[in-house]
A = this chain, B = another copy of it.
Amino acid sequence: MARRKLGLPKRKKKASRVQGKLGSAPGTVSYLGNKEKSDSEVFVISYDEEESTTKTHLKVDEILNYRKGPKTAWINVIGITDEVFIEELGKGFELNNLILEDAVNTDQRPKIDEYEGYIFGVFKMLYLNENDEIVPEHMAMVLMENTVLVFQEVKEDVFHGVRNRIEAKSGRIRTRGADYLFFALLDAIIDNYFLVLEQINHRIELLEDEVYANPKPIVAQHIQQLKKEVLKIRRWIYPVKELVSRLIDSESPLIKHDTKLFLRDALDHSLEINESLQIYREMSMSLMEMYMSNMSNKMNEVMKVLTIMASIFIPLTFIAGVYGMNFENMPELHYEYGYYVVWVVMILLFVGMLIYFKRKDWL
């Protein structure tokens, strides 16, 4: 229905995920999302300036071989419900258990932590599904010396462009190291935020048109849902600018100076996104205001109709009532043209009232 038309997601029934986690030790790697358990799938793209190869269905040992190899490797883990596999992988790469916990914790807010030898980041990919609904997907990235390790919930992602550029050897990506890959992935995520914002902008315009044309209660509901969605998205997007700026200021040898120029660009984009979100928030507040003003305007309309009808006919009815009285001695009743005189009076009254309301600008 209307909900679908506006691209609003259906309310999901959500089990208390927190409850399950309570009391477990910090650093416990346990998946908290709502996907069903399944094996993780891994593919690895390794490349240098000369060639790029893509492999899938690898075992942990094979993956670890890429670790300090001569090429830049993008190790992509799809599906984060298989906690055992992920812990094994983490041990292989000598990662802290705490970051594995965050990598599979779908509630984790965006963050970037620097550790000795690697940089760890959590982000939300946002993209539109076939119904133009906004789908959030948890993802985590680890930047190591010449490797980027990526964890994502499902196969769908926003990295087509990056993969294409590696394969097609377009742009600089093949000539640069893992830090540029890390940036390119981050950039792809941020670029998709723009798409999501455009969708929100589109919804606001749809709602705006409805508010002006047809301010039904359902519209108010849609405005409120939009506001909630903007709040939710903001929570995922807002911290990104801070994180990118921290990367730029980082003194880690993992990020080369050249790459920081590109990160500055990404910072710019995230600033722009935050500004847009702010504007959309204010616009949705304005929408509600506009809705209320239209409601009160409609009420005015209704009241005017009532007032005009009642004010015109109640006095006329009174006059008719007077000459419906049954007094014996009512001389007017016996005048020959009494009836016609009354009609004239009533018509004059009627016309007078119309003029009065016209002057008041109610007609």
Q: Which of A184-226 contact B (CB under 8 A)?
A: 184, 187-188, 191-192, 194-195, 198, 205, 212, 217, 220-221, 224
Q: A22's closest neighbor in chain B, by CB?
A: B191
Does chain B have a CB within 8 A of A292? Answer: yes
Q: Which of A83-101 contact B (CB under 8 A)?
A: 96, 98, 101
> Cβ of B334 and Cβ of A339 under 8 Å apart?
no
Distance in Å: Cβ of A96 to nearest Cβ of chain B: 7
> Given A160-B23, A187-B26, A290-B224, are A262 and B98 neighbors across the interface (CB < 8 Å)?
yes
> Cβ of A305 and Cβ of B307 under 8 Å apart?
yes
> Given A221-B290, A296-B295, A339-B330, are A26 and B321 neighbors across the interface (CB < 8 Å)?
no
> Cβ of B19 and Cβ of A195 under 8 Å apart?
yes
Report which residue of A102, A293, A342 has the largest number of chain B beta carbons within 10 angstroms of its beta carbon.
A293
Q: Which of A264-310 contact B (CB under 8 A)?
A: 264-266, 268, 271-272, 275, 279, 282-283, 286, 288-300, 302-307, 309-310
A321 contact from B28, B289, B317, Cβ within 8 A = B317
> Given A309-B310, A315-B313, are A336 and B326 neighbors across the interface (CB < 8 Å)?
no
Per the bound structure, the CA–CA distance linking A326 and B26 in Å amounts to 91
Does chain B have a CB within 8 A of A171? Answer: yes
Chain B residue numbers with a CB within 8 Å of A102 are 265
Please give the count of copies of this chain that the complex contains.
Answer: 5
A27 contact from B172, B289, B329, B334, Cβ within 8 A = B172
Chain B residue numbers with a CB within 8 Å of A327 are 323, 332-333, 338-339, 342
Does chain B have a CB within 8 A of A235? Answer: yes
Q: A306's closest neighbor in chain B, by CB?
A: B307
Per the bound structure, the CA–CA distance linking A317 and B320 in Å amounts to 9
> Cβ of B303 and Cβ of A292 under 8 Å apart?
no
Determine the main DSSP class of A at the interface with B. Answer: helix
Identify the 8 closest CB pairs spanning chains A and B, nearest first: A23-B161, A25-B171, A320-B321, A323-B325, A306-B307, A327-B339, A324-B324, A309-B311
Distance in Å: Cβ of A182 to nearest Cβ of chain B: 13
Distance in Å: Cβ of A318 to nearest Cβ of chain B: 4
> Cβ of B295 and Cβ of A300 under 8 Å apart?
yes
> Given A191-B22, A212-B221, A221-B212, are A329 and B336 neighbors across the interface (CB < 8 Å)?
yes
> Given A195-B19, A295-B296, A309-B311, are A328 and B320 neighbors across the interface (CB < 8 Å)?
no
Q: A275's closest neighbor in chain B, by CB?
A: B235
> Cβ of A25 and Cβ of B324 under 8 Å apart?
no
Chain B residue numbers with a CB within 8 Å of A266 are 26
Per the bound structure, the CA–CA distance linking A19 and B300 in Å amounts to 43
Does chain B have a CB within 8 A of A124? Answer: no
Show 11 A/B contacts (Cβ-Cβ < 8 Å), sorted by A: A98-B265, A101-B265, A109-B271, A111-B268, A220-B294, A224-B290, A303-B303, A310-B310, A313-B318, A320-B325, A329-B337
Q: A235's closest neighbor in chain B, by CB?
A: B275
Q: Mark each residue of chain A from 60 to 103: 1 if its CB lies under 8 Å from any CB of chain B, else 0.
A: 00000000000000000000000000000000000010100110
